[in-house]
Structure 1
Amino acid sequence: MTTNTTAYTATPLQKNYLVGGVRLFCILLWILCMPVVFVVSRILRIPGHMRLIPLFHAGLCRILGIETVVSGELCAARPTLYVSNHSSYLDVFVLGFLPAYFIAKSEVAGWPVLGRLAKLQHTLFVERRAGKAKHQLHTMQAHLAEGNSLTLFAEGTSTDGAHVEPFKSSLFAAANLGESERRVAIQPITVAYTHYNGERIVEQRVRDHYAWYARMPFAPHFMGLMPLKKVGAKIHLHPVCYLDEFETRKLCADHCQQQVADKLDELIQTD
């Protein structure tokens, strides 16, 4: 995840600090216990231990008061490149049900706690520098060629959650496996934070409590979530497309971006 430089101001919301304290305790307990259970299960080769990863994300959503609603049909093909808009680190939790490895910028690997958690769930770290583009593309293609699906935040940055930036077409080239018999499905996904405490979010200053972008410091933003009421997150799974259906990868990226952007507008404007 990367950030842009737009300023922000979050509007004050009614807070329940007792709830916040309980929530913080539960999160700390969850992120301490679940990784241990996962590592032990993996070492002992307990069947189905990989199902602990979506369970971990679902648990975090529940603790944080994120109520998710999923629409559309999840692509069952392997491998699939899931391409989503991106407005917050919370996106990782709400998309944790996807049967795929996340792609994150290399800096995330060094983040306290989140970096370690990302490594445990086999996140694929890539360097966004121009000189590393060929290497990161080969890494992604190798994962896809092995039948592993990937989740890509295709904007290459996080936004305010009310619009979608152009998708970076360069990483779409990973869906071209050359002579491989595998054909990579591409499924666009829209993530929208739409309701707070049952009411549609109208003001951007309210959405800023959940969107993490610009120069927002992580710790105050994350801690600010603790005493808040429930937020509604809607996830829409768009129809699958394939890279070879388009003349260029840019046209494919633009097609996916337009679908995601149109649906985001619809979701945030619907009561």
Structure 2
Amino acid sequence: MTWRSDRPLPMAITGAGWLRLVWRGLVMGGVTYGGLVLLLLVRCVERPLFGAARPWTPHITRRVCRLSLAIMGLGLSVRGTPMTQQGAMVANHASWLDIFVLNACAPMYFVAKSEVSGWAGIGWLARATGTVFITRKGTEAKRQQTVFEDRLRAGHRLMFFPEGTSTDSLRVLPFKSTLFAAFFAPGLQEGLHIQPVTVIYRAPEGTDPRFYGWWGDMDFASHFGLVLSARRQGQAEVIFHAPVPVQAFDGRKDLSGYCQRVVAASHPAPDG
């Protein structure tokens, strides 16, 4: 279910904000889609040589995301080390910005709802960078688990958002355990690790603390414009916690509960 708030986020853009929006938007668009063209060209060589494995193209995605954050002016600090073991990462979900922030830290492949594949511009980027799309139909659960298993066996580190929805960035919701079932597939869980990741946003000084949050029925274009038009930007902090072996847990609920507690313990308490 989509998380909602009774207090809307002010989205007005005024004065010089429009100039910043146009300038940053044009530069960021050029970097993003220029990087996409490069990625597709490299993938034409990478695919015949390595098949499902992607040893080169994720590094292009990482560079593009780091440049995009610099263009926005959003600061990024990282604590801990991204895992090197086979497995997946799980993080709290606050905004569309999570994709840029997390991709800037380490190569990874996101798991997203199927609707994202149809979003104008965004869907194309997501498919090109290897995003795994899932549906909310119970009848698709088995097929989706097979997809996860295949990607994990190919050495891809997947990134899940177990809350199932984005928020106002001020809280961590309970993690849903459904997607964790793939980690317990026979013959897969041995040697597989899960890394909890906490993402924290600090709003620009003098703005609403929820400035970077994106939730409910908020329009993507409007929030994207709000962020790019800001005179000052805040900061994103990413905390990579210690990876844990899947086989140390009794099942998906035990593992999801542990990850939720670790992620929430490093996140600031809700404001209001």
TM range, normalised to the smaller chain?
0.7 to 0.9
Q: How many pairs does the alignment contain?
A: 260
- Which residue number corresponds to residue 52 of structure 2? none
Following the alignment from structure 2 to structure 1, what is the Cα–Cα distance between the partners of residues 65 and 190? 29
C-alpha displacement at 1:181, in angstroms? 7.9
Paired residue type of 1:257: Q
Unaligned runs of 5+ in 1: none
Q: CA deviation at 1:75?
A: 1.1
Over 3 Å counting, the alpha-carbon distance change for 1:111 and 1:251 in structure 2 is: same
Aligned to 1:23: 24
Please show how residues 47-58 of structure 1 align to structure 2 within 5 Å. Answer: 48-58=56-66
Match of 1:206 in 2: 208
2:162/2:175 contact within 8 Å kept = yes
Aligned to 1:33: 34
Counterpart pick for 2:251 among 248, 253, 258: 248
Q: Which residue of 2 aligns with 1:5?
A: 4
Letter in 2 for 1:52: I
Residue in 2 that maps onto 1:61: 69
Is the Cα contact below 8 Å between 2:79 and 2:239 reproduced in 1? yes
1:124-171: CA deviation from partner (whole Å, max 9, x where unpaired): 111122221222112111211222110001111111111111111111
Q: 2:150 aligns with which of 109, 131, 142?
A: 142
2:211 maps to a residue whose letter is H
Secondary structure of 1:19's partner? helix
- The residue type equivalent to 2:80 in the other structure is G
Larger mean CA deviation between 2-11 and 187-196 belongs to 2-11
Query: For the residues of structure 2 that align with 1:146 and 1:182, how far apart are their CA atoms?
Result: 15
Structure 1 residue 189 displacement after superposition:
0.3
Task: Note closer, same or farther for the CA distance 1:50–1:256 as it changes in structure 2 (3 Å cut).
Answer: closer
Matched AA of 2:79: S
Equivalent pair of 2:13/2:229 in contact (CA under 8 Å):
no
Q: Please state how far the C-alpha of 1:32 moved relative to its aligned partner.
A: 2.6
In the TM superposition, what is the alpha-carbon distance from 1:13 to its structure 2 partner?
8.5
Please state whether the residue corresponding to 2:267 is helix, strand or coil.
helix
- Percent identity for Structure 1 against Structure 2: 31
Contact 1:70–1:234 (8 Å) recurs in 2: yes
Name the CA shift for 1:152/1:49 in 2 (closer, same or farther; >3 Å): closer
Counterparts of 2:15 and 2:237, CA distance in 1 = 23
Per-residue deviation, 1:21: 2.3
* Conservation of the 8 A alpha-carbon contact between 1:212 and 1:221: yes
SS in 2 for 1:264: coil
Q: Which aligned segments of 4 or more residues in structure 1 are displaced greater than 4 angstroms?
A: 11-15, 44-47
User: What is the alpha-carbon root mean square deviation over aligned residues?
Assistant: 2.4
Task: Specify the code of the residue in structure 1 equivalent to 2:213.
Answer: A
Q: How does 1:166-205 map to 2 (within 5 A)?
A: 166-180=174-188, 183-196=191-204, 199=205
Residues in 2 aligned to 1:62 and 1:14: alpha-carbon distance in whole angstroms: 22
Contact 2:203–2:211 (8 Å) recurs in 1: no
- C-alpha distance in structure 1 between counterparts of 2:174 and 2:195, whole Å: 16
Identify the residue that residue 258 of structure 1 maps to in structure 2: 261
Return the offset for 1:63.
1.4
Question: How many angstroms does 1:25 deviate by?
Answer: 1.4
How far residue 180 of structure 1 moved from its aligned partner, in angstroms, is 4.2
Which sits farther off after the overlay, 41-50 or 256-265?
Answer: 41-50
For residues 29-108 of structure 1, what are the structure 2 equivalents within 5 Å? 29-45=30-46, 48-77=56-85, 79-96=86-103, 97-108=105-116
- Displacement after TM superposition at 1:250 (Å): 0.8
Mapped to 1, the partners of 2:94 and 2:82 lie a distance apart of 21
TM-score by length of 2: 0.87
